Structure 1
């Protein structure tokens, strides 16, 4: 039988947690034995390591260790342990799927034990606490290389169980790391299912509420959790402290709105959760311009993009175009291919399956949700809209379908803080007397919804004989993210790169 050392009994009692509750979850005192690299923790009441077992269906699948040395705390996990929730068996409780109870998610195991002891048994804790706050105050992009096996692996491993749960109460710490943890969880689970708590003054977590205000106060904090605003009417006090809108540069200073030239004309910055529409006559470079943007933001911010490209096969065409943008040549390059591997996810048919099924918008969105969980994508690109198999209802007009489809894309973008970029071809109406005029968002086949519902609308127009392009910024919804107008750019055919022009931009009429 495992036991707790006296120092660890006192550790829990000082936090208002009974040793009996710790014993219920098989928490014990241990010590390190063996030699490196095979050192491991065994139960020992004389040890100095506090051991928290992670139990699933009666089997210990992981252990978290806590110890102190010279006043400093150290945490680590059992080598090879499963990075799942602590107390994960409650995820299968039918009350969660029925929606009659909410799943409480805490940052620390001690806070989880407090919630359980105060009458909220359907509580789990994240395995590794909260991530650090980024230096610039922005929600840091996830590391695409480690997302499926790193800080948020516990969400990916339990994704099927979490999909069935109707409500989540996020009772994480009220500090910078805790707020980032909440934002990351909300981005994956969807704001519509999440509630946030408000702690009494002077308290930053459930354990402090217990010690300073008592058990009833803990239950009240959880009972009075409020929904994250998604749709409808709310009082100002009901809104959580969400991060302010932080638009990012798309990679060319001329678009950043802080130069004389761009101040006289247009500028544009991308923001998480936005819906952007890009159009232009075929072969004028709208796909290439968007790929330039994706490479730029991957380099500057680590943003990973998911790309559905129906007209351009990923291998070799899309790969080679990206190689040219990144390295200046389509030749095989370990550095360029490593950048593509770490910055892009491709939504596509199975490359090893000869049978190609029709790809619908619903299928693309479902794969994009998986890409958020697995790869931490921040951008979804659909190129082009015209090549998707559109599952229109029998009683639905083309205009009604497009409106519904755009709402689906915007809902996905808002819930997961993913910028959605849709490329769409204009109709043949752009050709007049054998010559093409400048396309507009209203020229996109199907509906004026493309102009009315986008946050940014961009038209790419190229003059091949001069290797010049004009980026028409035709729609800007939020003034802090841009200004309507046009910006002239150079285009290098060899490298497929869009470049700023050395000469001063001329002021151009607003679109």
Structure 2
């Protein structure tokens, strides 16, 4: 039986036709202005879309929410074309006060249109900035007189001015800045669609999904001139853009004092000064000789905001000794079956909860579907399999698949290739551009194809490869973890393996020397029921990141996650007396002595 609008709660008047504006059954009842007509309904096409909550659908298909399941291709709505026509005189005067000429407005198809503004919960007259890909209208941004903005609901987000890409392209933070630069003679300008996300945005990476659809077109740009706002959000935006495009392809524009963006420079200083700012854009510093002038803004930023710690691991006790900073290399080791990989997965999951995205090269965790299932299990906090404890539901499974898809990308070995570290880093570079990954898990080291030349020793080879990994981490501001197994250890007192050190890792002392941070995961393998796991922090290069020490976490075997111990649990180390306690203290004293000898770095 064919469905009607009433089946979806949409109250279409009898004999109505054409385009209607109605209240939305999904969101109107929960809002202050319950009678706001935010739902556009096309009676002939049997389709609708809410301009407030983005609910959309049609009579010939099931309704669609604004959440797209991960395995479906995004079904974007294409806005109805509109003819720019002649702008009203008051709008022309408004642009003229901002230095924008009629010729620039005409070339960029600026128009006016009556639209629904969610912030006001009513329809208003607004300026329309159309977003084109070729001759096709993909999206439009609307701005009213009170500086409220909105994009077309359900439409694809792309760069504003995409058709103006050239081998050298300027990228700005707003449509007005693009128009201002065109007044100064620069047509090769694009703008990000949503401005600069706030630095504290939890899922900062999702704000850059507009780069994915036009990835091939963006590759034709040889030089990017980043001309975003001179404020904290602009600083973060510039860093993220340069990280994704590659700093060797980027220049940064510095605006004159008391000018925040291109449009302000045009108004306060004129087109000549705006032109000079663009022509004097400075390349991002690369490897080589640097002076204070290269990093003057960075130094000022550090002075204002301080040397910040890394991201929280998700465990307060671990944060005391170890936090996670982009651009560093952490080496993780431990005896077999101590839980290195599982703990690292939990750490990545905790960071993903804070908005990070990860590339994962983990050949030991195959089939990959099993690894994905374990990540979903950790995310849900409920067992994946049937058992005495209630497993996660089907709906939770669907949400978990969607969430893991958004944050983790597996790099898979292929039969026809030697999977060297360089091959994996090539895939990781692509993930930085496309998805903005902040973390890369390489687990374990011995699964790589190591094509060492005959005249290169193992120590030299490991030194060269770790140097390459560190360069990748710093250049793309991605934190890299490498899991490396220790050489054969012998059981000691109480038939237990000792806590290994970074120097015990098979192959080279460079595992200790080249790492920024070094962690050892240890547990009592002689007692399989014992669920306390020790995290030994044996190297911290930069003191703002953490300090040397050791903490304990409690392992939950049901969901394979780690939690903070209860207040009545044992302390950081098991109770010991006599020689055992003295040995433990000597071990800590030696680590702290080395730490102090390095100047606390």
- Is 2:459 the counterpart of 1:389? no
- The yes-or-no answer on 1:270 pairing with 2:324 is yes
The alpha-carbon deviation at position 255 of structure 1 amounts to: 2.1
1:407: which partner in 2?
Answer: 467
Alignment match of 1:362 (pick from 408, 414, 422): 422
Deviation readout 1:272-321 (Å, 9 max, x if unpaired): 2221010112212111221222233334x233333221112233256237
- Please tell me whether the aligned partners of residues 245 and 271 of structure 1 are also in contact (alpha carbons under 8 angstroms): no
Counterpart of 2:24 in structure 1 is none
1:141, 1:376 within 8 Å by CA — same for their partners in 2? no
Alignment root-mean-square deviation, CA: 3.1
Q: CA 1:152–1:494 in structure 2 vs 1: closer, same or farther (change >3 Å)? A: closer
What is the SS of the residue equivalent to 1:380?
strand
Kindly provide the CA deviation profile for residues 69-116 of structure 1, in whole angstroms up to 9, marking residues without a partner as x.
xxx22323345544222222332x3xx2xxxxx421111122112223
In 2, the alpha carbon distance for the partners of 1:30 and 1:495 equals 54
Contact 1:325/1:496, CA 8 A, preserved across alignment: no
How much has 1:340 moved relative to structure 2?
6.0
Aligned with residue 221 of structure 1, among 277, 299, 304: 277
What TM-score do you get using the length of structure 2 for normalisation? Answer: 0.69
Q: CA separation in 2, counterparts of 1:122 and 1:233? A: 31
User: Structure 1: how far apart are the matches of 2:475 and 2:400?
Assistant: 27
Match of 1:282 in 2: 336
Which whole-Å CA distance do the structure 1 matches of 2:434 and 2:210 have between them? 11
Per-residue CA deviation, residues 35-66 of structure 1 (Å, 9 max, x unaligned), is xxxxxx9xxxxx94322233333443333322
2:93 aligned with 1:10: yes
What residue in structure 2 maps to residue 447 of structure 1?
508
Alignment of 1:34-73 (within 5 A): 48-68=125-145, 72-73=146-147
SS at match of 1:157: coil
Q: Distance in 2 between matches of 1:219 and 1:274?
A: 38
Q: CA deviation at 1:211?
A: 1.2
Partner of 1:471, secondary structure, is strand
Match of 1:420 in 2: 480
1:463 is paired with a residue whose SS is coil
Distance 1:373 1:51, change over 3 A: same
- How many Å separate the matches in 2 of 1:396 and 1:119? 55
Q: Which runs of 5+ in 1 are unaligned?
A: 34-40, 42-46, 97-101, 258-266
In structure 1, C-alpha distance between the alignment counterparts of 2:410 and 2:543, rounded to whole Å:
32
Question: How far is the alpha carbon of 1:492 from its aligned partner?
Answer: 4.2
Q: CA deviation at 1:463?
A: 1.0
Contact in 2 for aligned 1:169/1:196 (Cα 8 Å)? yes
CA distance in 2, matches of 1:484, 1:317: 31
Alpha-carbon distance between aligned partners in 2 of 1:422 and 1:341, rounded to the nearest angstrom: 27
**Separation in 2, partners of 1:238, 1:66:** 37
| 2:523 counterpart SS class | strand
Q: Deviations over 1:218-255 (max 9, x none)?
A: 11211222233343333323323456543122222222
Question: TM-score, normalized by length of structure 1?
Answer: 0.81
**Greater relative CO (CA pairs within 8 A, separation 6+):** 1
Mapped contact 2:329–2:481 kept (Cα < 8 A): yes
CA distance, structure 2, for counterparts of residue 81 and residue 4 of structure 1: 25
Taking the aligned partners of 1:249 and 1:78, their CA distance within structure 2 comes to 36
Which runs of 5 or more residues in structure 2 are unaligned? 1-83, 117-122, 386-390, 574-583, 592-601
Residue from 456, 481, 504 that aligns with 2:571: 504
Aligned equivalent of 1:205: 261
Matches within 5 A, 1:345-360: 345-349=408-412, 358-360=418-420
Matched length: 464
